Amino acid sequence: MEAETWWRNTTIYQVYPRSYYDTSGNGIGDLAGIISKLDYIKGLGFETIWFSPFFDSPQADFGYDVSDYYQAAPEYGTQDDIFLLIEEVHKRNLKVVFDLVLNHTSDQHSWFLESRAGLDNPRRDWYIWRDGKGKRPPNNWKALPGGSGWHYDKTTDQWYYASFLPFQPDLNFRNPQVKKAMLDMVEFWLDKGVDGFRLDIFHSIFKDEKFRNNPPSRHFLPYNDEAGFFQEYKYTVNQPETVAFAREIRELIMSYRPERFLLGEIFASDEIKRDYLGEDQDGLNLVFLWDLPDAKITAADLRRVIEKYEKEYPDPYLPVYVLGNHDRKRVLSRVGENINLAKLLAVLIFTVRGIPVTYYGEEIGMLEGDSPTKTCLDPVGQRYKNVPSFLLNILDLYVNRDGCRTPMQWDPGKNAGFSETDGKLWMPLASNYLEQNVEKLESNSGSILSLYKDLLQLRKSSPVLITGDLKLLETPADVLAYEREIPGGKIGVFLNFSARERQIVTILPVEKVLYSLSSIDVRGDSIYLPAFSAAIIRYKLDIS
């Protein structure tokens, strides 16, 4: 029987619909395409699928600018296709997570068109409108990707606020009608069977009621948790009302069985993130953590990340282990195209205590695409088109997100098997599709794809890996090691990040090597790990 809190044990796979599989032949992925690949995802062994938005949208931010929360964008399909997707996911005993963009709509949403039409329009107060200060914006609030968050609208001589880009006006959640409209929509999808929601920039939902200026800050780079562009986001993110709203949505989903869950995209300190989760576990079920995708890939740094996650999110909190997503550089590119390192990271996320989230293509080692910022499609990248790429690299600023959104690499044939079109793909393929594609890797037992399948299988069959406590071990340099334990079961995980063999002395005898990356040697109380290899072992507990 399914556990009530199934989401505590799940594994998540993220699909970016535009890039998954095109059945209509227009070079753009679609809902029918996703449905036809559900067996592949099931075959990998994931249990939950999160879909980036496929709702109707002008696609100015590729779906994160919704113009109708009930309909599919025509290039992806119809509302019936969404219903069918939910049904087909469930048929395979998988769970479905929608991406919920609550903070803002598209500026083409009928609500905003009405709102901007006039001061006395009934929907005027659905968005955040203010008078300017003379010719200047109402206050100093900056948008998350930079620039003022305020945008002048000459029809009514007022300014509207947008936390993200100008075409994504923020809804006014202080207006009860707005809250109701959005919660009604959430209920609609819950009733249709959606099992969970990923909440897009949830930390931005409420802004200071008094519209106070944000204080100055020394942080000038964007995407810092709570500051950027020389400004502390004191009054624009993580307001107490947002934390309270997290509890309100949780209350709504709590009336559903089987349980549903909320996974928040939050940028905040760990302390604030815990507030969102709630001391009594009555807020968001899970929040994304960004230390791992930001970490240097060394044993020491990864150890620090795990240590921090364990300290800040002890049971019953659950850390979320993510390596990449549709906003971040492809993990294989991040590790200098060293597939061994990508494999070690996979071993890590499936063997630690927490929820692993995999972004499509990580399982086949997809590389970052090569899309120059000058001509990129990503609206964030376009803002930086005049900044030389060497400077972006020095500052380690990932602003052009085209590269991580290239089409899925299904086979080495035409368009990597993503689309039949003779025309252009919406986004060019990444360069390594001839070698790194599903068809080719499926028949290779040493491939990263086989590794993902094996790890998912192992995790599924191992209560120790799913729920066990985690204890970090003292190890030789370049080795990361930890134990997972439940009463009666203990597993050791050893990852060698160096280019040389490392010897590890175990305290307990090894009963069985459950998994190893390349063949390892166990002699007496020692495990010999070749360069860039990993071992997952079961200890013998009963030594009598």
Nearer to ligand GLC, 101 or 194 (CB): 101
Nearer to ligand GLC, 379 or 407 (CB): 379
Taking the complex as a whole, the smallest distance from the CB of residue 467 to ligand GLC amounts, in Å, to 29
Taking the complex as a whole, the smallest distance from the CB of residue 248 to ligand GLC amounts, in Å, to 21
Q: Map the footprint of ligand GLC across residues 152-191, applying CB under 6 A.
A: 164
Give the tokens for residue 201: 């920039």
Nearer to ligand GLC, 77 or 145 (CB): 145
Taking the complex as a whole, the smallest distance from the CB of residue 313 to ligand GLC amounts, in Å, to 21
Distances (CA, A) of 433 to 44, 345, 354, 437: 19, 21, 31, 6
Question: How far apart (Å, rounded) are the C-alpha atoms in residues 490 and 485?
Answer: 4
* Residue from 61, 362, 454, 478 binding ligand GLC (CB under 6 A): 61
Q: Cα dihedral angle (392, 393, 395, 397), rounded to 10 degrees?
A: 60
Taking the complex as a whole, the smallest distance from the CB of residue 475 to ligand GLC amounts, in Å, to 35
Nearer to ligand GLC, 237 or 456 (CB): 237
Exposed/middle/buried for residue 146 (C-beta within 10 Å: 0-12, 13-18, 19+): middle
For the chain, the maximum distance between any two Cα atoms, rounded to a whole number of angstroms, is: 83
Taking the complex as a whole, the smallest distance from the CB of residue 398 to ligand GLC amounts, in Å, to 12
Nearer to ligand GLC, 18 or 353 (CB): 18
Q: Is the N-terminal amide bond of 356 cis, ω within 30° of 0?
A: no
How many residues touch ligand GLC under the rule CB under 6 A: the total is 9
Tokens 């819950």 correspond to 190
Residue by residue, DSSP assigns 298-320 as SHHHHHHHHHHHHHHS-TTS--E
CA angle 173, 17, 330 (to 5 degrees): 95
Taking the complex as a whole, the smallest distance from the CB of residue 228 to ligand GLC amounts, in Å, to 14
* Residue from 101, 286, 456, 470 binding ligand GLC (CB under 6 A): 101
Handedness of CA 255, 256, 260, 263 (dihedral sign): negative
Taking the complex as a whole, the smallest distance from the CB of residue 326 to ligand GLC amounts, in Å, to 6
> What residue number has its CB nearest to ligand GLC?
64
3-state SS string over 506-529?
CCCCEEEEEEEECCCEEECCEEEE
Give the tokens for residue 413: 């044939």
Distances (CA, A) of 273 to 50, 139, 278, 309, 355: 21, 27, 9, 12, 16
- On whether the CB atoms of residues 302 and 295 are closer than 8 A, the answer is yes
* Residue from 64, 127, 276, 532 binding ligand GLC (CB under 6 A): 64
* Residue from 162, 201, 364, 481 binding ligand GLC (CB under 6 A): 201
Distances (CA, A) of 42 to 90, 94, 131, 418: 11, 7, 53, 19
Indicate which residues carry an active-site annotation. Answer: 200, 265
* Residue from 88, 107, 200, 275 binding ligand GLC (CB under 6 A): 200
Nearer to ligand GLC, 200 or 310 (CB): 200
Nearer to ligand GLC, 265 or 310 (CB): 265
H-helix or E-strand spanning residue 471 = strand 469-472
Q: Map the footprint of ligand GLC across residues 269-328, applying CB under 6 A.
A: 326-327
Task: Establish if 13 lies at the interface with ligand GLC (CB under 6 A).
Answer: no
Q: Which residues bind ligand GLC (CB under 6 A)?
A: 61, 64, 101, 164, 200-201, 265, 326-327
